[in-house]
């Protein structure tokens, strides 16, 4: 099973809302990732977790708050977002070793009004 | 810093024709290279990867890629394109990060259109 699941598929939120994106994998991977993808652009790395500890934060604004409660789950908490944060948010996971493949979920399409 | 260039933004081929998508990378050490495909509104699916050994790698869906260190290239090829291959293709270079995890840097992507 090489599946990464993400919920919800679509999300519309106002700039004052608080919402969370969820990601789950059951492949035993110990590295998990959040990417942001704007339309017609490549994915951009936001955060990396390794063994449930934050390994990389690519200077992401604090209105995005990641959380890795256990080795299978990854959350992205959203608060006071801006319309320019509207994008496809992709989660990925991999074995925590060099050259390992990252497996991507289908993404959450976020629209901020 | 590592970087990836995909010089072709759009490519159109006829079904049954051969395909080559170009990718050039910039990386100081031996690179970990990947090709992913993305259908509209979907996540990314790995086609193939290279990190060592045979420079011609085979992937899924009949795709192959050749690593050429002298040209800093990792071009993707398919001998006969099917209409279902129409999608966005991303080349990426991976970097192992102190603290854990691999950082993927993607090229800008090539949009493939297949004419019937």
Q: What confidence tens digit (pLDDT) does each residue in A72-94 have?
A: 999 999 999 999 999 999 999 99
**How far is residue A5 from each of residues A22, A90, A105, B48, B51, measured CA to CA in Å?**
8, 10, 5, 22, 27
- pLDDT for B52: 86
Smallest CA–CA separation between B39 and chain A, in Å?
Answer: 10
List, for residues B44-91, the tens digit of each pLDDT value. Answer: 999 999 988 889 999 999 999 999 999 999 999 999 999 999 999 999
Pairwise CA distance, residues A105 & A29, whole Å: 14
- pLDDT for A83: 96
Provide mean pLDDT across the span B94-100. Answer: 85
Looking at chain B from residue 84 to 113, which residues have their Cβ under 8 Å from any Cβ of chain A?
Answer: 90, 94, 96-97, 99-109
Per the prediction, chain A carries an average pLDDT of 94
- pLDDT for A1: 61
Smallest CA–CA separation between B105 and chain A, in Å?
Answer: 8
Pairwise CA distance, residues B116 & B112, whole Å: 13
List, for residues B9-54, the tens digit of each pLDDT value. Answer: 999 999 999 999 999 999 877 789 999 999 987 889 999 999 888 8
Which of residues B101 and A65 earns the better pLDDT score? A65
Q: Cβ contact (<8 Å) for A31 and B94?
A: no
């Amino acid at each position: 099973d090489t599946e990464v699941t993400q919920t919800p598929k679509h999300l519309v939120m106002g700039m004052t809302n608080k919402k969370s994106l969820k990601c789950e994998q059951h492949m035993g991977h110990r590295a998990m990732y959040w990417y942001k993808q704007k339309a017609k652009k490549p994915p951009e790395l936001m955060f990396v977790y390794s063994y449930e500890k934050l390994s990389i934060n690519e200077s992401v604004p604090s209105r995005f708050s990641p959380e890795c409660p256990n080795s299978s789950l990854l959350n992205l908490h959203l608060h006071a977002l801006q319309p320019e944060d509207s994008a496809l948010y992709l989660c990925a996971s991999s074995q925590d070793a060099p050259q390992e493949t990252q497996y991507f979920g289908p993404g959450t399409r976020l629209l901020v009004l | 810093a590592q970087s990836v260039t995909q010089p072709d933004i759009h490519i159109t081929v006829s079904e049954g024709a051969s395909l080559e998508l170009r990718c050039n990378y910039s990386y100081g050490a031996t690179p970990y290279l990947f090709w992913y495909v993305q259908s509209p509104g979907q996540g990314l699916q790995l086609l193939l990867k290279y990190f060592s050994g045979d420079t011609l790698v085979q992937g899924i869906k009949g795709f192959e890629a050749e690593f050429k260190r002298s040209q800093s290239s990792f071009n993707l090829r398919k001998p006969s394109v099917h209409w279902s291959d129409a999608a966005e293709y991303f080349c990426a270079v991976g970097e192992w990060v102190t603290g854990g995890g691999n950082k993927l840097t993607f090229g800008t992507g090539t949009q493939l259109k297949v004419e019937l």
